[in-house]
């Protein structure tokens, strides 16, 4: 099984297991399939500056990114390390030690003897740019020299302090691959090494905190067991890991508590590790926390620590799964997570409050929603002044509409967040606001044809007396004829069109208002496609969106399907009765969650 541990840089140069050689230091082989040294001035300067900042800090340890190595034997039987990942860091550290004239390891470039010779003799007098390796090594050495020239100008002890810090207090994550030991075919071994290199460097499977922690746990839990028992225990843990990873990759499950799309997530289990080790956001900080919690001089205690952390990992996963499967918790916590920016802190606060009985935790989850809705007044909330609060109102109304409609139905947080990440959500006026004049001929003809198709079968007798406060005396039938006739014209008169559009809008839509009974939640993209549309056309488009399997919030769909109507069955305008029933539904469902109760 692979070995993972923290090694001080000094131990990367020389340690108790370093083979006896003429010059007793570790040897690192850079294999032929890797490109050469390519760090530029910024990379080298950043490494030096980071180490210097650490020297000035109160921190005890500083950790460099991992190096991945495979043990190998050289021509005379001495162990060397084949570097699968980490060539750039190792070569840069070598150049630093070379400039400082301090002990260092050996680097061997396979099939690149000129690079070996150049690196060995590199100094400020023999910079060379004849090939890429020489060029980048020369630039790196120049950066190192100039950096230390500045630092040592007034401090004769700086080099010794820096070297002591780098070799004793700066550590590297050492990832030693042992899985190839069971292979005997040289071609197969070589193929596997290249595959590992590609996975790490092409980005298919990056070496994440999760992969490092997995290797750490697996390397510790086998202590004290026979070889067969150790393999069985590692296999069991790997199977548990795989099951959690697969279940968390269910998009509905993942997006219930998280806002990061699955396709941007290398490991879902890493989220649980971060929950356990909430500390900082620095790369590999989660791994370092686990390494610190496990580390002990007693291997048996290390095994116990690793087992405890794995048990906590499974417990956290079980909590997430229980919340996902429980309708009340799923919807209340899902609402909470939607309106909090830090998913880790949000989920951790839920875990910290879930220690009591299930009923108490369900009440706590509902109280969290009440807290989010605190201060919202449904009787005064307004489109122009309270858009963020309106969004909360409509999201909660949609969630509660799902719960009340069917105990087995679930609000689709994954689809909601997918739209949130792909343009966002907006508040749609059910009856359109006073729209700007249209001047683009193609858009005008589209509006004319779409509107005509939406209202062509409506008659004057379909309108209830005094239902719409319209000042347009023109009959519906005549407006429909004008829509059709204008849509057939080769050239549109913009003034005449906008006059007709205003008449149609005024005839079919009551005066637009910015309050609850005339608003609904819709994705920004869908909302933009409904601009200038009367209710009948919006309804037609919403139905088409639904047929195309686009996500329409359930309460918004209810609005345009006239779900809130009782006696009023006409489909072509948003009636006073519709408004009253819709508003009553919102108030009735949300009142239990409001501190200011709607009348």
| Ordered DSSP codes for 146-172 | HHHHHHTTT-TTHHHHHHHHHHHTEEE
22 lies in the same domain as 90: yes
Q: Supply the pLDDT for residue 94.
A: 97
Q: Supply the pLDDT for residue 449.
A: 77
Helices (H), 152-281: 158-168, 186-201, 209-220, 227-248, 251-257, 269-276
Q: Is residue 369 part of a domain?
A: no
158 lies in the same domain as 44: yes
Q: Is residue 566 part of a domain?
A: yes
Q: Is residue 377 part of a domain?
A: no
264 lies in the same domain as 280: yes
Cα→Cα distances 173→94, 287, 376, Å? 17, 9, 51
DSSP 202: S
Helix (H) / strand (E) element for 526: namely helix 524-529
Task: State how far the Cα of 416 lies from the Cα of 398, in Å rounded to an integer.
Answer: 11
Longest dimension (CA), the chain: 106
Q: Is residue 113 part of a domain?
A: yes
Q: Supply the pLDDT for residue 196.
A: 62
Closest CA to 4 of 170, 172, 218, 174: 174
194 lies in the same domain as 223: no
Task: State how far the Cα of 160 lies from the Cα of 155, in Å rounded to an integer.
Answer: 10
pTM: 0.71
229 lies in the same domain as 177: no
Q: Cβ(91)–Cβ(119) under 8 Å? A: yes
> Which residues contact residue 550 at a Cβ distance below 8 angstroms, ignoring those fewer than 6 apart?
526
Closest CA to 24 of 106, 118, 89: 106
Q: Is residue 198 part of a domain?
A: yes
Q: Is residue 378 part of a domain?
A: no
- Domain end residue (candidates: 206, 239, 271): 206
14 lies in the same domain as 82: yes
The tens-digit pLDDT sequence of the chain (599 residues) is 678 888 999 999 999 999 999 999 999 999 887 888 989 999 999 999 999 999 998 888 888 888 889 898 888 899 999 998 889 999 999 999 999 999 999 999 998 899 999 999 999 999 999 899 999 999 999 999 999 999 999 999 999 999 999 999 999 989 888 766 665 566 666 666 566 656 555 444 446 788 888 888 988 898 888 888 888 898 899 899 999 999 999 999 999 999 889 888 888 999 999 999 976 556 668 888 998 899 888 989 999 999 999 999 999 999 999 999 999 999 999 999 999 989 999 999 999 999 889 999 999 999 999 999 999 999 999 888 888 899 999 999 999 999 876 667 899 999 999 999 888 999 988 876 555 666 777 777 777 777 777 677 776 666 554 455 455 556 777 877 887 888 888 888 888 887 877 777 776 665 557 788 889 999 998 887 776 677 777 888 888 898 999 999 999 999 888 888 876 556 666 777 788 899 999 999 999 999 987 76
158 lies in the same domain as 242: no
Q: Supply the pLDDT for residue 182.
A: 61
Q: Is residue 497 part of a domain?
A: yes
488 lies in the same domain as 527: yes
Cα→Cα distances 398→256, 335, 542, Å? 15, 11, 16
Q: Supply the pLDDT for residue 50.
A: 92
Task: State how far the Cα of 454 lies from the Cα of 540, in Å rounded to an integer.
Answer: 7
192 lies in the same domain as 248: no
Task: State how far the Cα of 21 lies from the Cα of 37, in Å rounded to an integer.
Answer: 26
- Tokens 């989010």 belong to 372
Task: State how far the Cα of 518 lies from the Cα of 431, in Å rounded to an integer.
Answer: 6
Q: Supply the pLDDT for residue 186.
A: 67
Q: Supply the pLDDT for residue 436.
A: 62
146 lies in the same domain as 243: no
450 lies in the same domain as 588: yes
Buried-state track 30-63, b at ≥16 Cβ within 10 A, e below 16 = bbeebebbebeeeebbebbeebeebbeeeeeebb
198 lies in the same domain as 234: no
> Which residues contact residue 517 at a Cβ distance below 8 angstroms, ignoring those fewer than 6 apart?
579, 580, 582, 583
- Domain end residue (candidates: 164, 180, 206): 206
Q: Is residue 242 part of a domain?
A: yes
Q: Supply the pLDDT for residue 117.
A: 94
Task: State how far the Cα of 224 lies from the Cα of 114, in Å rounded to an integer.
Answer: 48
- Domain end residue (candidates: 150, 173, 206): 206
Q: Supply the pLDDT for residue 284.
A: 67
DSSP 104: -
Task: State how far the Cα of 274 lies from the Cα of 268, in Å rounded to an integer.
Answer: 10
The total of structural domains in the chain comes to 3
Which residue segment(s) compose the domain that 170 sits in?
Answer: 3-206
């Amino acid at each position: 099984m692979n070995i993972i541990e923290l090694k001080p840089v000094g131990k990367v140069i020389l340690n108790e297991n370093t083979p006896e050689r003429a010059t007793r230091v570790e040897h690192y082989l850079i294999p032929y399939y890797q490109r050469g040294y390519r760090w530029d001035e910024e990379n080298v300067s950043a490494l030096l500056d980071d180490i210097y900042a650490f020297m000035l800090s109160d921190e005890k340890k500083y950790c460099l990114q991992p190096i991945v190595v495979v043990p190998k034997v050289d021509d005379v039987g001495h162990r060397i390390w084949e570097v699968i990942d980490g060539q750039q860091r190792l070569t840069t550290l070598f150049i630093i030690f070379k400039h400082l004239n301090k002990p260092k390891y050996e680097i061997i470039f396979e099939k690149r003897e000129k690079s070996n010779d150049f690196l060995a003799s590199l100094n400020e007098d023999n910079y060379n740019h004849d090939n890429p390796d020489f060029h980048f090594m020369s630039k790196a050495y120049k950066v190192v020299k100039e950096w230390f020239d500045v630092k040592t100008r007034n401090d004769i002890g700086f080099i010794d302090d820096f070297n002591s810090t780098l070799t004793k207090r700066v550590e590297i994550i050492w990832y030693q691959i042992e899985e190839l030991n069971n292979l005997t075919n040289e071609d197969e071994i070589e193929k596997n090494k290249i595959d590992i290199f590609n996975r790490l460097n092409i980005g298919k499977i990056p070496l994440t905190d999760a992969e490092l922690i997995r290797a750490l746990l697996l390397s510790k839990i086998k202590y004290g067991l026979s070889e067969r028992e150790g393999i069985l225990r590692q296999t069991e843990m790997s199977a548990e890991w795989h099951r959690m990873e697969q279940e968390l990759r269910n998009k509905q499950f993942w997006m219930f508590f998280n806002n990061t799309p699955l396709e941007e997530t290398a490991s879902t289990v890493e989220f649980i590790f971060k929950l356990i080790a909430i500390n900082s956001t620095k790369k590999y900080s989660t791994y370092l926390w686990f390494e610190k919690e496990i580390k002990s001089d007693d291997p048996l205690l290390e095994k116990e620590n690793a087992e405890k952390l794995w048990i906590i990992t499974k417990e956290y996963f079980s909590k997430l799964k229980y919340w996902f499967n429980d309708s009340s918790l799923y919807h209340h916590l899902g609402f909470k997570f939607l309106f909090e920016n830090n998913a880790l802190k949000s989920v951790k606060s839920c875990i910290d409050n879930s220690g009591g009985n299930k009923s108490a935790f369900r009440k706590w989850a509902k109280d969290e929603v009440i807290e989010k809705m605190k201060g919202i007044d449904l009787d005064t909330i307004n489109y122009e002044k309270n858009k963020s609060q309106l969004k909360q109102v409509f999201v909660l109304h949609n969630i509660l509409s799902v719960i009340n409609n069917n105990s087995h139905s679930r609000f689709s947080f994954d689809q909601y967040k997918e739209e949130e990440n792909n343009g966002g959500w907006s508040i749609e006026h059910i009856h359109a606001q006073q729209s700007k004049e249209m001047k683009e001929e193609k858009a005008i003809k589209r509006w004319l044809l779409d509107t005509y198709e939406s209202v062509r079968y409506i008659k004057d007798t379909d309108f209830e007396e005094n239902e719409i406060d319209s000042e347009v005396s023109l009959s519906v039938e005549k407006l429909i004829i004008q829509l059709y006739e204008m849509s057939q014209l080769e050239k549109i008169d913009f003034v005449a069109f906008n006059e007709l559009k205003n008449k149609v809008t005024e005839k079919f839509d009551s005066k637009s208002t910015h309050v609850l009974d005339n608003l609904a939640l819709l994705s920004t993209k869908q909302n933009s496609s409904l601009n200038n549309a009367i209710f009948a056309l919006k309804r037609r488009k919403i139905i088409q969106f639904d047929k195309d399997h686009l996500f329409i919030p359930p309460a918004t769909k209810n609005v345009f399907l006239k779900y809130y109507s009782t006696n009023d069955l006409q489909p072509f305008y948003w009636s006073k009765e519709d408004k009253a029933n819709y508003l009553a539904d919102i108030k009735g469902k949300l009142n239990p969650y409001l501190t200011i109760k709607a009348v």
